[in-house]
Structure 1
Amino acid sequence: MFETKTRILKVGTAKLHYALIPWDSDSLNNTTVEIEFFSAKNVATLNKLLMHLQRTLHLKKGDLLFSKIPPKDFSKIQLLDQVGFYYIEQTITLDIDLSGWNPDEFVFSRGDGYRLILAGLSDKKLIRKIAGSTFIADRFHLDPNIAKAGANYRFEKWIDNSFQSTDIVYKFVDDKNLIIGFFIVNEHPDYAEFRLAGLDPKYVGRGLGKMLYHCMYRLLEDKGCTLIKSVISLNNLQVLNVYMYLGHAKFISPFIVLHKVL
């Protein structure tokens, strides 16, 4: 469900690798395409590749092209800028080493009533509602050329897809057993991947984000997991501060993300 197929097109000796992103296309009601690689060294050649791509896929107004480029490849970022792409965000990958992490070092004033529980299908509607209203700093919400309703719907669909995939969905409940957030992970043989997490907007700003992530760290540690991986936008300062608070995080693999809405 979450796999894409890389395709290649050529103009002369120049190549462009791309992949259709069907789940984003469905949510945003457009055709969303990731430019994974291009060999063009100048604006003219890159424009020819992009025009060939638009003709091949029958792209139209409102369709989205995006690319993720390491900051060290500044010449490629410049070329994309010159053909109409614009900066949206920078992402990094976190490697979190739980082997030396001690959950008992952290004390929370709200007590032990807050916890993560495996979510069932009966919880999906409420979790979906939270996901559709809590995110504002992702690249789709920050792009002025993308409708906010579509950006919200993308996260709602993410919840739907997660319940149908190998992802594990947890609900975050308070001391009254009310669902106030969620956490989605994917467990691999040698690490766990954080996919998506969020709090009901009514509870944001109360320090509960630290508890949410602490609960997940502890849950995974109890399962014997020693490594967590997560991709995060530098725009998401609240969660970055949570990672800094909980510690043991190493920042790697930065990418500049650029969009172009046709």
Structure 2
Amino acid sequence: MNTAGIIWGKAIDLPAHVKSDIPFNINAEQYKNNIYMILRTDNQIIEIITLEKLEWDSQHFNKNIWYLTPYMNNPNLEASIINYLLSSLEYICRYFSIDMLFCKVNTDMHSYIHGLEKRKFHLMDTLITFEHPFNQYQPFDVSDRYDFFCTHDNKHIEEMMKLAEHLYTTDRFHTDPNLDNEKCNQLYSNWIANQSKDPNCDIFVLRENETLVGFVTCKHHLDLTTSIQLVGVHPQHQGKGIGKELIKRTLNHYANKGNKITVGTQLTNIGAIKCYLSVGFKISTTKHSFHRSF
């Protein structure tokens, strides 16, 4: 099959009981570690769902984990269409022995959300993404009591990894009872280790009198956008404005190095939301994170 040059690969035959009698055609194709499900009428593609295997997550949690993306992001799809797609999706997951699906959908996609809930997807958290463009940027004043620098030094990385194991406990991974809590703790430590080896990532530490009080990790993208990946503040130094100091210094560092910077946090992280808004970030997207175990 070839759909307008968009989809190609090995066709997956869906059984008769999956192909209901509603007036739509659905095809599923595999290309490497991606699966594309295309729902269409005779002359129009209505929706495309992509499934991508998450190799790192699968290895870390010792589960076959995939990520589901509604490609066309259409908030106006009818409930019957969504139900048709998701019923076909369940067959695909059994076909590939998928243990877990992760999915993020815009918060205005109400029919999708209701459809996911009916198909035993569970809400884990809501992610707010902020962006800060650098046009007409005015550098922030920062405190002179801290040292802030980029590092890939093993001593600094190990110190950050140890700290990260106990900092993040309200994310979608810890919320999921089907994921081992200890592995969830280790996830962010391993994340830092991987980023320290990635040439597209920067790792910054904030120190006071040689003591690590906080860190930021960032990733560069092809569109000249930088995303803040992790922000961490030592528990003994929280409540002192360290998080805001980290963000100000990060913005100052990248002001002349790209178009904009983005960062995400959970809806429940009120302190972080207030911090980002106070230094000029604007909300760009809000998405619900769903997990489904099989």
Does TM, normalized by the shorter one, top 0.5?
A: yes
Q: Does 1:255 align with 2:287?
A: yes
Q: Does 1:175 align with 2:211?
A: no
Change (3 A) 1:12 1:204: same
Identify the match of residue 276 of structure 2 among 236, 239, 243. 243
- The answer to whether the 8 A contact 2:65-2:101 is kept is yes
- The answer to whether the 8 A contact 2:37-2:49 is kept is yes
Structure 1 segment 110-129 matched on structure 2, within 5 A = 111-129=144-162
Instruction: Give the aligned partner of residue 202 of structure 1.
Output: 236
Shift of 1:74: 1.0
Structure 1 segment 18-29 matched on structure 2, within 5 A = 18-29=51-62
- The answer to whether the 8 A contact 2:142-2:249 is kept is no
Partners in 1 of 2:33 and 2:284 — Cα distance? 25
Instruction: Give the aligned partner of residue 112 of structure 2.
Output: 76
Structure 1 segment 1-262 matched on structure 2, within 5 A = 5-9=33-37, 16-37=49-70, 41=81, 43=83, 46-50=86-90, 52-59=91-98, 63-104=99-140, 106=141, 108=143, 111-188=144-221, 190-221=224-255, 223-247=256-280, 249-262=281-294
- Per residue, is there more helix in 1 or in 2? 1
What is the root-mean-square deviation of aligned Cα atoms in Å? 2.8
How many residue pairs align between the two structures? 250
Q: How does the TM-score come out when normalised to structure 1?
A: 0.83
Q: How does the TM-score come out when normalised to structure 2?
A: 0.74
**Mind listing any 5+ residue stretches in structure 2 that lack a counterpart?**
1-31, 42-46, 72-76
Partners in 1 of 2:93 and 2:198 — Cα distance? 31
* 3-state SS in 2 of match to 1:84: coil
Q: Can you list the C-alpha shifts for 1:167-193, whole angstroms capped at 9, x where unaligned?
A: 333242323122232211123463322
Give the residue type in structure 2 aligned to 1:205.
G
* 3-state SS in 1 of match to 2:291: strand
Change (3 A) 1:93 1:12: closer
Higher RCO (CA < 8 A, seq sep 6+): 1
**Mind listing any 5+ residue stretches in structure 1 that lack a counterpart?**
none
State the identity %: 20
